[in-house]
Amino acid sequence: MNPLKLAVIVGSNRRDSLNRKLAEALVRLGGNRVAAHFVRIDDLAMYSIDIDSDQDRPEAVRRFNREVSEADAVLVVTPEFNRSIPAVLKNAIDWGSRAAPRGGVWRGKVAAITGTSPGAIGTAVGQQHLRQILGVLGSLVMGGEAYISFKPGLIDEDGTITDESTRDFLQAYMDDFLAVAEKLRAPAPAARAA
């Protein structure tokens, strides 16, 4: 079977983002079942209806919408900021929501959400907000919860999760997500008869 086209969105624009490291480790856990593409969000202009028209919509926004639309599924790995999601992620979601009527690029999109922070509850509150936003937009957000409290050394230089119980937990999380996403993905167009 063709690998699943997975759009990975990291909700941080920080150079040494912990969430980017986690996202890379998760992609690794997906192995050859996924063809992952990290979708940029840090170059999107702040949403304004003034530039949201066919003439004025920035090229980066068009690219973002296209990359999410073309994916079979989306994995969002995000920090929590002030018990919600970072503005850079909300901005990207808002742009995507305007791409077409009723939910834009998010509608019907299978999504998994997770995230990490050094705090004790590892982005739990931010993820609840994200689940609500994507749900309202019609995404099929995976059930289950994965809140990762980041400790130094949790992910090594190669992107391997060093703590065995965390690794096993996240492997199961990715396995569940990929199984659902594979089941729901649009069938490949049938090969034409010669």
Q: Which of 48, 53, 82, 165 binds ligand FNR (CB under 6 A)?
A: 82
Backbone angles phi, psi at 81, to 5 degrees: -120, 120
Is residue 17 at the binding interface for ligand FNR, with CB under 6 A as the rule? yes
Backbone angles phi, psi at 84, to 5 degrees: -150, -160
How far apart are CB 128 and ligand FNR at their closest, in Å? Answer: 12
Beta bridge partners of 51: none
From 82, 75, 53, 57, select the one nearest 5 (Cα to Cα). Answer: 75
One symbol per residue from 60 to 79: x for binding ligand FNR (CB under 6 A), - otherwise; what is it? -------------------x
Q: Which of 5, 57, 60, 81 binds ligand FNR (CB under 6 A)?
A: 81
Nearest 10 degrees: Cα torsion 37, 42, 43, 45: 130
- Which tokens is 116 given? 């990490």
Is residue 38 at the binding interface for ligand FNR, with CB under 6 A as the rule? no
- Which tokens is 121 given? 């509850």
How far apart are CB 16 and ligand FNR at their closest, in Å? Answer: 7
Is residue 48 at the binding interface for ligand FNR, with CB under 6 A as the rule? no
Residues near ligand FNR (CB under 6 A) are: 12, 14, 17-19, 79-83, 117-119, 123
